[in-house]
Structures are given as structure tokens and as C-alpha cells.
Amino acid sequence: MRGTEGPETFSAFDVVGHLIDGEETDWMPRARIILARGPDPRFEPYDRFRHRARNVGRSLTSLLDELARLRAANLEELASWKLSEAQLRLTGIHPMFGAVTLRQLLAAWVVHDLGHVAQIARVMAKQYKDEVGPWVPFMPVLTDHERPRS
Amino acid sequence: MRGTEGPETFSAFDVVGHLIDGEETDWMPRARIILARGPDPRFEPYDRFRHRARNVGRSLTSLLDELARLRAANLEELASWKLSEAQLRLTGIHPMFGAVTLRQLLAAWVVHDLGHVAQIARVMAKQYKDEVGPWVPFMPVLTDHERPRS
């Protein structure tokens, strides 16, 4: 659970912390900025490493419990908004790539999850790379992202 | 759940069928061949497309239930063997890469799972590629395996 793919890459534990950061500081706060339609619809920059200091000494189980609670509360709030097509077309300003719609933000939330699920499976798989012997070339998950991407 | 990454690639539904095939025809049957120490320790070749004809008309839920049952039974049998270090060093003959140890076979079973978990997340993520707009270059899961590997 603490194994990584190399320096500056996330372990499964790190990914759970990163997803918690997303719940607390990224997706819903940005959706609220868009829906507020205030004079300055710029999103706060997102800190990819907030979790490192935040979660020192925490167990994986307690982080998973926290993520589940935060996610459930966020999904409940999101559903309570009963977003209209017109609201989904509203935009905010992303610090790196400018105007994005609420629809794109919500889709990115889903894809971000799935990307990190794939990452957790890949990072866990790589911990067994020396154990599988001749299967390595037939298991692309063991050699994907040898140079980490974004 | 039926979306793929292109021709001749697996959907999430296909992957579940493929994992069922693994439970029924691959990992445990091969482990039994190794442990039997018979005169011909060659494994049967594995049919990667057995699930296609087998699962026509099945629902994803019923396949997931079946996989859970098969896996639980296989893990119970595996645990009942109480394998020794000496047994883990026994070998069988893989149809493509020759002698493999029982230890390598069991490690490959784990990594095979994780590879397909990563694949399911990736294939599901790609179904949203048009929805996330400017996030595409920041979400490698959307562009991994553009040419399918193994």
C-alpha cells in the first residue's frame, strides 16, 4: 500500500489522500464557484501534495473511511442542486486552461476517479513484478508508465 | 459497461467474462497440474475468447455473482492445500514460455487481476473522453493504450 512507481509518484495510500484533497478543495468548491456566478469565477489552484503533510500518521483504513464520508456528503449535496442543462453550461476559469463548463468539471471528477483506480491497480501490480517471472512481457500493467505521466 | 477501446479490445463486461474463464480454465487447473507431478506437466493453452460465446445474453450482475462464487471456491481450495516452500518451487510447462514455478503462477494470478482492474477503469474513463474538454491532456488514463497492448 506504500509502494510507489518511483520518486515523486503516488502509492495507493497517497492516492487516497489525494482523492480526499479533491473532495475538500477541488471538485465541489469549483462547482460552487461556477454556480455562484460571482464577479470572479476563477478557481483556486489545486495543491497536488496537500495530503502529504495532512495525513502523516494516518492509517489507510481511516483515510478510506474519511473519503467515503466526504464523497457521500458531496454526492448528496450535488444531487440536491438538481442541476439544469443551463446550469451545466455555466463556466468558471481554470488556473491552467481557462474557461470550463460545469458539465466538463463534473465529467472530469468521474474520469479523475477512474484514472486513480487504474493507477492504484498498476502500482500494486508492480510490487509483484519480480515474482511473476516469464509473465512480465504478457502483463502490460507491469510496464505501463515506466516514466510517470502528469 | 459494453464500451471498448476499439476493435478486438475488451469492454468491462468482456473482462468479467475473461476473469471467469481464468477461474474455470487457467489458474487453478494449472496449479493442479503442477501439484499432480504427473509425467506430462504441460498446461492446456488458454482461450482468451471463450467468454464471448459462453456469455451471450448474460447480465453483468449475474456474471459478477458467478465470478465471486468461483473465486471464493478457488481461494478456499488454494488455502486448504497449505502449500510448502518446496511445493511453490515445483514447475509446470507453459505453452508459450516453458517452465514456470507454482509461485510464479500464483503471483501472475494476482497481477492478472490487477491488470484487468486497471483496464476496466481505463475503458470506462475513455467513454467520457469527449465530455471532459480541456482536461484530456492532464488525464493520462484517457490516452493510455491507444494502441492495445498484449
pLDDT at residue B135 in the model: 93
Asked whether A3 and A111 are in contact (CB, 8 A), the reply is no
* Per-chain mean pLDDT for chain B: 93
pLDDT (0 to 100) of residue B5: 86
Measured between beta carbons, the chain B residues lying within 8 angstroms of A112 are 139
The pLDDT tens digits of the residues spanning A50-82 come to: 999 999 999 999 999 999 999 999 999 999 999
Across the interface, which of B104, B114, B125 has its CB nearest the CB of A131?
B104
Q: Shortest Cα distance from B10 to chain A (angstroms)?
A: 14
Exposure string over A22-60, b if 16+ CB within 10 A, otherwise e:
bbbbbbbebbebbeeeeeebebeebeeebbeeebeeeee
Whether A136 contacts chain B with CB within 8 A: no
Interval B126-149: pLDDT, tens: 999 999 999 999 999 998 887 766
The residue among A138, A145, A146 with the most chain B CBs within 10 A of its CB, best to mutate, is A138
Distance from CA of A5 to the nearest CA of B (A): 15
Q: Which of A74, A88, A73 is nearest to A35 (CA)?
A: A88
Query: Which residues, given as ranges, of chain A have pLDDT below 50?
Result: none
Identify from B102, B141, B144 which residue to disrupt to test chain A contact, counting A C-beta atoms within 10 A and taking the largest count: B141
Give pLDDT, residue A50.
94
- The tally of CA atoms less than 13 A away on the side-chain side of residue A143 is 10
Say if residues B22 and B71 touch (Cβ distance below 8 Å): no
Residues of A in Cβ contact (< 8 Å) with B100 = 133-135
Shortest CA distance from B119: residue in chain A = A118
- Say whether B141 and A114 touch across the interface (CB within 8 A): yes
Q: What ipTM is given for this predicted complex? A: 0.89
Beta carbon pairs, A and B, within 8 Å: 129
Cα gap B18→B63, rounded to integer Å: 10
Q: Where are the alpha helices (DSSP H) in B81-138?
A: 85-88, 102-126
Q: Which residues of chain B have pLDDT under 70?
A: 148-150
- B84: enclosing H helix or E strand: none
Q: List the grid coordinates of B14.
A: 468482456
Determine what percent of chain B is predicted with pLDDT higher than 70: 98
Name the residue among A104, A110, A79, A76 with its Cα closest to residue A92: A104
Q: B54-61: long-range contacts at Cβ-Cβ below 8 A with a sequence spacing of 24 or more?
A: B54/B17, B54/B20, B54/B21, B55/B13, B55/B17, B55/B20, B58/B17, B60/B1, B60/B12, B60/B13, B60/B16
B117 contacts on A by Cβ (under 8 Å): 117-118, 121
CA distance readout (Å), B110 to A13, A70, B62, B76: 19, 30, 23, 15
- What is the spatial distance between Cα B114 and Cα B120, in angstroms, rounded to a whole number? 10
C-alpha cell at position A47:
495543491
Say yes or no: A125 contacts chain B, CB-CB below 8 A.
Answer: yes
- Which positions in chain B touch A141 (Cβ < 8 Å)? 111, 114-115, 118-119
Predicted local distance difference test score (pLDDT) of residue B1: 83
User: Grid coordinates representing B99?
Assistant: 517452465
